[in-house]
Amino acid sequence: MARAPLRPGDLIDGFTLIERVHRGNMSSLWRVGRDDLDLPLVMKVPRLGYGDDPTGIVGFEVEAMIMPTLSGPHVPRFVAAGDFETLPYLVTEWIDGGALHERLGPLPLPPEEVAALGARIATALHDLHLQHVIHLDLKPNNVMFRESGEAVLIDFGLSRHDRLPDLLAEEFRLPMGTAAYMSPEQVLQVRNDPRSDLFALGVLLYHLATGELPFGSPTSRGGLRRRLWKDPLPPRWAKPEFPPWLQEVILCCLEVDPRDRFPTAARVAFLLQNPDQVPLTRRAAFQEHDGIVDVFRRWLRSLGSEPVLRHSLSDHLSQAPFVVAAVDTRHGGPLAEAQRATVRRLLDATPGARLGCLAVMKTSRLGMDINVDKQGNNLHVKALVELKHWARPMALPAERVTFHALEAPDPATAILDFARANQVDHLVVGARGQSRLRQYLGSVSAQIVANAPCTVTVVRASEAGGRDNIA
């Protein structure tokens, strides 16, 4: 029996329909309320009429399966779901800040605005990946913002959960996604690589920065496959003054082979917030398409092997962690050497890891601080130089190490804030010898261990032989 049309005022499992706010090809969205919930709510109801796309039904099942597993500020709060035996629906928190496409004015946007928006979206993607989910349909319609500013990802109907069945792959044999934003590996029906979301982010950044889509909006399988070998025009082709660092980030996200992209969304967020830390390659200077030889080679490769992630999403993230060493360069000596040895072992054990070298210059809580030493050298620059001297014996490539000098009255708080803001996976801190005052006030390392959002290794230099002890 056909289902009666939904109308404002209808009651569904305690939810009152208020108004329909959207009617799409696969579902309708209704503002709803429930007496016991003081929370703005939205209900998604899939379209089940004759001729409606069956992928929409499977996509609804996927979203209803994934949403209850998600939490945090970068996804809507899950509230309830109904099944197909009565009425299928999905109720989540309504995000008041609006969608990305609604907030955009005329394109292109200024580079600094592109970077700020991109960093927030990349942070949301990394949080999603940490929860074992690849979005696989990132586009302006699926990015919203809380009034507090955080990006929120919505619409998980095409997503892949690393630890749940992939219903779409089991039931269909065709590329899944939005044509303009789909990664090359998605065109090849590979759905298990988180770097697919970085490709979509690159398309989004390109669009915001240039006003154009890098690959257009193809409508055929052949049109989709062109991105397996054809590179987009670099932003600097039309705007020679376009910042090289931003072009570097965008084009790296748009690499055909996912292994040539950034390893994690956290890395993209970090670079978009720290342009001076972007390692520039030949991409930064591009002003035209790749040569015909490079394009022909990619075309030949596209006829053969397909990119496949042979390990889980969790394994992928664990192979590309952000390790940060908080180094007191003023004292140096055995402790700094012990930290370097510990960091070297961590990096050797994880070839995909990147290193951040961090120094905190303690400032006064009151009054003005002098920013030069007795010889007139800038203290901030001096700290960066000392960090580079500390890291030099490890001989790391430029793209694998960054340097950061912070100024703060409380070093422990500064280090913890840096770790939270930059999705740090592992902190390496040094602990100096014990003293009566240190025992009374609490050491920096103890405060970090107690409050860090990540793994912490505390290194102490032994008094004899210079060998390090790890707590």
Instruction: Give pLDDT, residue 94.
Output: 95
Angstrom distances, CA of residue 369 to CA of 328, 329, 384, 403, 409? 19, 19, 18, 22, 11
Among candidate residues 401, 422, 424, the one with its CA nearest the CA of residue 122: 422
Where among 316, 346, 376 does a domain terminate?
A: 316
If one counts the domains in the chain, the total is 3
In a domain, 2, yes or no: no
pLDDT of res. 383: 84
- Measure the N-to-C terminal CA separation of the chain; round to a whole number of Å: 67
Q: Mean pLDDT, consecutive 10-residue segments, the chain of 471 residues?
A: 79 95 88 94 82 73 94 97 86 92 87 97 98 97 94 96 88 86 93 96 97 91 87 90 97 95 96 95 85 74 61 78 88 85 92 90 63 69 87 88 86 92 91 56 78 92 47 44
pLDDT score of 424: 92
CA distance 335 to 390: 11
> What DSSP string describes 274-333?
-GGGPPP-GGGG--SPPPHHHHHHHHHHHTS------S-HHHHHHTS-EEEEE--TTT-H
Q: Which helix or strand (DSSP H or E) is residue 171 part of?
A: helix 167-171
Q: What is the dihedral of CA 424, 199, 122, 193, to 10 degrees?
A: -50
Q: Which of 93, 125, 140 is the last residue of a domain?
A: 93
The verdict on 120 and 228 lying in the same domain is yes
Q: For residue 2, what are the CA distances in angstroms to 6, 178, 297, 341?
A: 12, 31, 55, 70
Residues 132 and 271 in one domain: yes
pLDDT at 293: 74
Domain extent, residue 367, equals 321-470
Boundary (domain end) residue, out of 266, 282, 316: 316
Same domain, 245 and 340: no
CATH of the domain at 85: 3.30.200.20
Classify residue 199: in a domain, yes or no. Answer: yes
Q: What angle do CA 32, 34, 40 make, to 5 degrees?
A: 55
Per-residue model confidence (pLDDT) at position 361: 84
In this structure, the answer to whether residues 214 and 81 fall within a common structural domain is: no
Tell me: do 279 and 427 sit in the same domain.
Answer: no
Indicate if 122 and 243 belong to the same structural domain.
yes
C-alpha–C-alpha distance, residues 338 and 461, integer Å: 6
Residue 6 maps to a domain = no
Domain annotation covers residue 128: yes
